[in-house]
Chain A
Amino acid sequence: MKIMVLLILISLLLAAGFLLAYLRAARDGQFDDDYTPAVRMLFDEPIPAKKEKNIAENQQDEDLKPSL
């Protein structure tokens, strides 16, 4: 039943990966604010019609794709 050793290993590695991600995120302050994110996600302010037209035109002119 070596398969169990393997699956446990993969599962542990996966868990370790998530643990690292968690520790890093925690150190970066991702979880410092445990209130406002839940409120902020509710606000997608509508953009005034005139401005929206401008944005739509600009988007066609140039490639605003951010680089990695």
Chain B
Amino acid sequence: MSNIQQFQYDNKIVRAFGIASFVFGIVGMLVGLIMACQIVYPELNLGPWFTFGRLRPLHTNAVIFAFVGNGIFMGVYYSLQRLLKARMWSDKLSWIHFWGWQIVIALAAVTLPMGLTTSGEYSELIWPLDILITLVWVIFGINMFATILTRRESHLYVAIWFYIATWVTVAVLHIVRSMEVPVTLTQSYPVFSGVQEALVQWWYGHNAVAFFLTTPYLGMMYYFLPKAANRPVFSYKLSIIHFWALIFIYIWAGPHHLLYSTLPDWVQSLGTVFSIMLIAPSWGGMLNGLLTLRGAWDRVANDPVLKFMVVAVIAYGMATFEGPMLSIKSVNAISHFTDWTIAHVHVGALGWNGFLTFGTMYWLWPRMYRTKLYSTQLANVHFWTGTLGIIFYAIPLYWAGWTQALMWKEFTPVGTLAWGNFLDTVTQIMPMYTMRIVGGTLFFVGVLIGVYNLYKTGTQGTFLSNESAEAPARERLAPVVKGEHWHRWIEGRPMQMLLWSTILIAIGGIVQIVPMVFVDSQVPKISTVKPYTPLELTGRDLYIREGCVGCHSQMIRPFRDETERYGEYSKSGEYIYDRPFLWGSKRTGPDLWREGGKYPDSWHYNHMMDPTTMSPGSIMPAYPHLLEDKIDYSDLAAKITVLRKLGTPYPKDFEKYAVSNAEEQANKIAQNLASQGVKDQNIQDKEIVAIIAYLQRLGTDIKILPKQ
């Protein structure tokens, strides 16, 4: 046995990602908790930086990309090395990956509260950060694939397949979603508009859930659960089927986020069908995880690691059953835009991702520090507060979602809306929102206990930076000989082939998209729908900055209650100049698509200054800074130029007089406000005027009927 090789596993990088995961986990969950409080106590909206609208993307990004993201890398760097019997290929790349990712997170934490956002859910970061993410992801990929290529173990354990699929698919998704044309260093407009961008967004958004929150964690489940239970996975064959079935089905399910929208029906149905098919592989995997513990359930009662993992797998099962159900149109008609969705995603994030992360950490820390867990009792306390936290979070929100949806849809016997005032449906569910704070607090306290426990575990042990190991060199199945057929050479390099084909896919995608931008889109056009005026465009960008889309949708579904409440249902042709689209996915406040002309300008002025003056009991944040800050026209010309390049039919040289055009419209609104009793001398220069211009324009284009 002379070919035995000796080497060391890198534990330091695993610990670094682990620490980053729980540090950012605490930050992300704390922001979530603050937002939960803001809904009940709107005065906690400390504008302009810390309003609900600006914090929402900070919360989602911190939890998804910082907490779960670092958790993924922790799990991958630990398990990959051991499964391949090899150290990570390059320590240098490992650390560039680590610090690069933390820099992205830090910049996101600064830019999002500043209101620098693209507004696409989970793709909010501005374009320079998109590029940075791409670079870091490529470095991670090089390091991972090089380690796979230089491995000592021929067989790729199923977890590695999950990691490979994660890398490849996230790369493609991120690139396609980030196709945008920069206006300034901090702003860009997406290449697609309206319904087309909505489809790209949810193709991306759904698969971000699939390939960032699910597949890497499934890989981790298949490694850490058997390890913690010290028994092989129930069926290795089933795990392989789970993997291949899942990745072939997942990519098609995205349109279920756009049911009853203006997306063509057949695409909606496609999304529904594939979503329902997903139950099979998801539950196959869930059962595979649970059955791994057959005959060992007595140990689950005593081992906190297994407890966390069992609840995580059950949460995965619940979320993957609920997801397909929510994709059925008749269920979605009730659930969409309500807190049901929020409850659903938190079962996934807190239960599946959160608990699997904590279980893995409780298993990893004693091993890397060569000691025992500091306190099993504290870990049990963490487990129970966390579990209760999930229950107290999810159940009130399920209740809130149902209650509100049914109130929205309720008619009186004479055929009018039973709850015509939207606010009544909000005040009805305030007790549930208060309960949600209790649930969130419990979960958060559990995490703090967990961090303390891991910290104490670290201090009582000695960290093993490099873990020695030995294994025989890998025997190549088919040695490459010179002079072979070229195809044989490619076949000997599956990883390179995968990498190159990914790059090719991406290039192919870009080549196809660019010409398409200049071709008329096939969205049916409506002759009265016109581009936004410069002032409206400015107001729209302010609407994006403030994150209004987090609570207000702009998509009226073709239901009797919605047309009764908001007006004519939305048509796809109305959105062709919307860059980005702002349909939203949650109605904490009413839909705004037909807001134009509903109220006088002064109503909006007073409402922004203090929403409770116009709607007593409103939980919307106040926006006094919009009444004080001057409109910044410096980028307006550039915006017009970029939008024209993308296909918005602004006249030639329009950018030259865009500012004067905007000022003219601002003066008109200022006069309106003055005549309606608003006493403010320089109001025409203030941001509020641009916001009013935009809100008064919303959805008004098709009210002007074309001459027959």
B150 touches A1 (CB 8 A): no
Question: What's the tally of chain A residues with a CB closer than 8 Å to chain B?
Answer: 46
In the complex, which residues of chain B have a beta carbon less than 8 angstroms from the beta carbon of A30? 155-156
In the complex, which residues of chain B have a beta carbon less than 8 angstroms from the beta carbon of A20? 497, 501
Nearest Cβ on chain B to A40's Cβ, whole angstroms: 8
A15 touches B251 (CB 8 A): yes
Q: Of A7, A25, A54, A65, which is within 8 A of B200 by CB? A: A7
Contact of A1 with B466 at beta-carbon distance under 8 Å, contacts A17-B502, A38-B226, A64-B7 already known: no
In the complex, which residues of chain A have a beta carbon less than 8 angstroms from the beta carbon of B158? 37
Q: Which of B86, B146, B169, B251 is packed against the most chain A CB atoms within 10 Å? A: B251
Closest A residue to B240 by CB, please name it. A31
- B223-257: which residues lie under 8 A (CB-CB) from chain A? 223, 226-227, 230-233, 236-237, 239-240, 244, 247-248, 251-252
Contact of A56 with B156 at beta-carbon distance under 8 Å, contacts A2-B519, A42-B227 already known: no
Nearest Cβ on chain A to B598's Cβ, whole angstroms: 31
| Prevailing SS type, chain A contact patch | helix
Give the complex CA separation of A7 and B468 in angstroms.
Answer: 46
A34 touches B509 (CB 8 A): no
Nearest Cβ on chain A to B420's Cβ, whole angstroms: 36
Closest B residue to A41 by CB, please name it. B157
B516 touches A44 (CB 8 A): no
A14 touches B505 (CB 8 A): yes
Give the complex CA separation of A19 and B498 in angstroms.
Answer: 11
- A50-66: which residues lie under 8 A (CB-CB) from chain B? 51-52, 54-56, 58-59, 64-66
Nearest Cβ on chain B to A17's Cβ, whole angstroms: 5
Give the complex CA separation of A44 and B82 in angstroms.
Answer: 8
B470 touches A47 (CB 8 A): yes
- A1-51: which residues lie under 8 A (CB-CB) from chain B? 1-4, 6-7, 9-11, 13-15, 17-22, 24-25, 28-31, 33-35, 37-39, 41-42, 44, 47, 51
Closest B residue to A66 by CB, please name it. B150
Give the complex CA separation of A9 and B477 in angstroms.
Answer: 34
A55 touches B468 (CB 8 A): yes
Give the complex CA separation of A58 and B468 in angstroms.
Answer: 11
In the complex, which residues of chain B have a beta carbon less than 8 angstroms from the beta carbon of A38? 226, 232-233, 236, 239
A56 touches B8 (CB 8 A): yes
Give the complex CA separation of A34 and B252 in angstroms.
Answer: 29
A10 touches B509 (CB 8 A): yes
B494 touches A24 (CB 8 A): yes
B7 touches A14 (CB 8 A): no
Closest A residue to B165 by CB, please name it. A18
B146 touches A37 (CB 8 A): no
B192 touches A3 (CB 8 A): yes
Give the complex CA separation of A22 and B501 in angstroms.
Answer: 14
Nearest Cβ on chain A to B485's Cβ, whole angstroms: 16
Q: Of B150, B203, B477, B509, which is within 8 A of A28 by CB? A: B477
Cβ contacts A to B, 20 pairs, < 8 Å = A1-B522, A2-B516, A3-B516, A7-B200, A10-B505, A11-B252, A14-B251, A21-B164, A33-B155, A37-B155, A38-B239, A42-B226, A42-B230, A42-B231, A55-B8, A56-B466, A59-B7, A64-B5, A64-B6, A68-B149
Q: Chain B residues in contact with chain A, CB under 8 A?
A: 5-8, 82-83, 86-87, 89-90, 146, 149-150, 155-158, 164-165, 168-169, 172, 176, 192, 195-196, 199-200, 203, 223, 226-227, 230-233, 236-237, 239-240, 244, 247-248, 251-252, 264, 267, 466, 468-470, 477, 491, 494, 497-498, 501-502, 505, 508-509, 512-513, 516, 519, 521-523
Q: Which 8 A-B pairs have the closest CB atoms?
A: A38-B232, A55-B468, A38-B236, A3-B196, A66-B150, A34-B237, A52-B468, A55-B6
